[in-house]
Amino acid sequence: RRQDILEEMVALRREFDPDLVLCPSRFDVHQDHQVIHDEARRAFKDRTLLGYELPWNCIDFSTALLVTLSEDALRNKQAAFACYRSQAFRPYGDGSAIEQLARLRGGQAGARYAEAYEVIRWVWKTG
């Protein structure tokens, strides 16, 4: 149903007109995430497109962009992830893995917490 997914993304592009879109990394081996990545590249090819890191699915990853996080932002991310009850039993489901990764990426960014993103496309609009 790739075409349906693409058409939904194109509709979202028209409705929201985003400058920045986040999608799974190209290195994510989960088959559903790969489809979302591929269709996001098609639907948002004229936008800044960043791939997010899911270490449990990524065999490789490009940390080309680091974004620092406040402690509140980290807690909000953990709370949002906790809403995915289907993932609660997994080793990363309790939120501690999210904090550990944020600390690691923060060390790379010279901050307490950060997130890493793969730069798929960077569109810089001037004027």
CB 117 within 8 A of CB 48: no
Output the pLDDT for position 101. Answer: 95
What is the pLDDT tens value at each position of the chain, 127 positions in all?
Answer: 999 999 999 999 999 999 999 999 999 999 999 999 999 999 999 999 999 998 889 989 989 899 999 999 999 999 998 898 888 788 777 789 999 999 999 999 999 999 999 999 999 989 8
State how far the Cα of 80 lies from the Cα of 77, in Å rounded to an integer: 5
State how far the Cα of 107 lies from the Cα of 102, in Å rounded to an integer: 9
State how far the Cα of 13 lies from the Cα of 23, in Å rounded to an integer: 14
State how far the Cα of 41 lies from the Cα of 49, in Å rounded to an integer: 8
Output the pLDDT for position 85. Answer: 84
Q: How far is CA 91 from CA 40, 52, 97, 104, in A?
A: 28, 19, 8, 18
